[in-house]
Structure 1
């Protein structure tokens, strides 16, 4: 993989439902990587030309660039989408980047939109991937025999990928993924992530978890001081599962990081929660979650509460 250019190429994919998280992701990326030359490559659907221009101006304010790429309107519409609250056909866009990016881009970092960057991304970008198409972090899936994965710690999370574009294209990873998706819809529990894992069995490089720190690593049994201390070595925080910072019932205790960068995005896009309802059951659950966090933070209060 060539290192002739000092520019970092970052790829993101989203639709109109994720504009606020995209702005937050970009704010975190730029705020923590000042002085870097960054080019953002985006596949975006459902957003207007005005919204595109607003994103371009926002990125330009950080002396960086964003380029938009188009896919056919019907791309991925016939791909399997498990019934969840947050997945749309946009989850499949990432597999198309190597075919769309210019020839001078020989590697790039793909980032999901439920991410905040809290450290220097150069540490990840300069990782040597050798002959593999990607480098990634192990997920919390022990094995997936249905995908040909039988060994523990052999299934990766596709929310953060360092992509060796030349090797990806040489091995036709996009074509193989699309073929797997179309022929094995019943196996797609985690949509394109499953397809990528099936196609790349034993052909990916493992990254340290600091480059993709996920929900289960954020224990509810330790203090916020301990969590903040652990963040010193973390580069990327990934809000996996349904516990998104923009969900009223989200339980990830690191969501404060999301709202830190939320304050740095244009006011018109500061939509704090996308699922807020004046529902007494949801409000009660919301208060229970937040009270539980306070009690976890202050053990003395927790003891007094339990004595009642």
Structure 2
């Protein structure tokens, strides 16, 4: 198997660690905020499937791995039936998928999709809402239970609208005074932010961050 980092494989061990302790587990990425009650998750019938997740609208991934249309899911939020996961030996199947598939880009997410084809209950958009910094209104959805801040620009970078739920919870947390520094920003983050500033017609700031991006790319 290719040398994948430990953090990539960690979430795949969660069902094994909790087997015999609980029947289900809700896994969330660190860039997700809960903004509504989760009663509907607790009452969700997985109908014999291994987990529930939301589709990711990436036809190129479905084509690449030979999956059915509209079935590739985002692994940032997984509601897992632990007993089904264990009985079907999903962890070992994922390791095998990582070993034999050479065109994997997102290791655990791609492997999960390959192994779990036909074994997923798909969630409504409001259960796992996808929020992108540079296109925040691409989905008109009410009563968002979990909001997932996708992409390389995150709300803790300090440039999101004050109205996003993340900032509401940050204001009531021990980190309310945290200020992000762009000193350690990646070239991708700088390029995305510069592009956003240009669209906002903030040209001076846009050029400032674009030149920072170029400086990193040239030095690489």
1:253–1:124 Cα change, 3 Å = farther
Matched, 1:261 2:169: yes
1:288–1:233 Cα change, 3 Å = closer
> What is the TM-score when the length of structure 2 is the normalising length?
0.74
User: Deviations along 1:274-302, whole A, 9 cap, x unmatched?
Assistant: x52299xx6xx5696398299xxxxxxxx
* Kept in 2: contact 1:218–1:254 (CA 8 A): no
One of 181, 188, 207 as aligned partner of 2:104:
188
Alignment partner of 1:93: what SS? helix
Q: How does 1:143-222 map to 2 (within 5 A)?
A: 143-149=61-67, 151-184=68-101, 186-215=102-131, 219=135
Alignment partner of 2:97: what SS? helix
Please give the root-mean-square deviation of Cα atoms over the aligned residues, in Å: 3.6
> Partner residue of 1:82?
none
Distance in structure 1 (CA, Å) of the matches to 2:147 and 2:88: 30
* Kept in 2: contact 1:109–1:125 (CA 8 A): no
* Kept in 2: contact 1:187–1:194 (CA 8 A): no
* Kept in 1: contact 2:19–2:82 (CA 8 A): no
1:270–1:97 Cα change, 3 Å = farther
Matched, 1:246 2:156: yes
* Kept in 1: contact 2:19–2:83 (CA 8 A): no
> Partner residue of 1:113?
30
* Kept in 1: contact 2:50–2:119 (CA 8 A): yes
Residues paired across the two proteins, number: 197
1:218–1:276 Cα change, 3 Å = closer
Structure 2's unaligned 5+ residue stretches are 203-220
C-alpha displacement of 1:104 = 3.0
Q: How does 1:28-47 map to 2 (within 5 A)?
A: none
Structure 1's unaligned 5+ residue stretches are 1-75, 80-87, 295-308
* Kept in 1: contact 2:133–2:151 (CA 8 A): no
1:136–1:97 Cα change, 3 Å = same
Distance in structure 2 (CA, Å) of the matches to 1:240 and 1:220: 10
User: Deviations along 1:58-83, whole A, 9 cap, x unmatched?
Assistant: xxxxxxxxxxxxxxxxxx9921xxxx
User: Deviations along 1:91-137, whole A, 9 cap, x unmatched?
Assistant: 32111101101513001111111100111112122100021110111
User: Deviations along 1:244-276, whole A, 9 cap, x unmatched?
Assistant: 11236x6x6587321221223324x86442x52
> Partner residue of 1:302?
none
Distance in structure 2 (CA, Å) of the matches to 1:90 and 1:114: 15
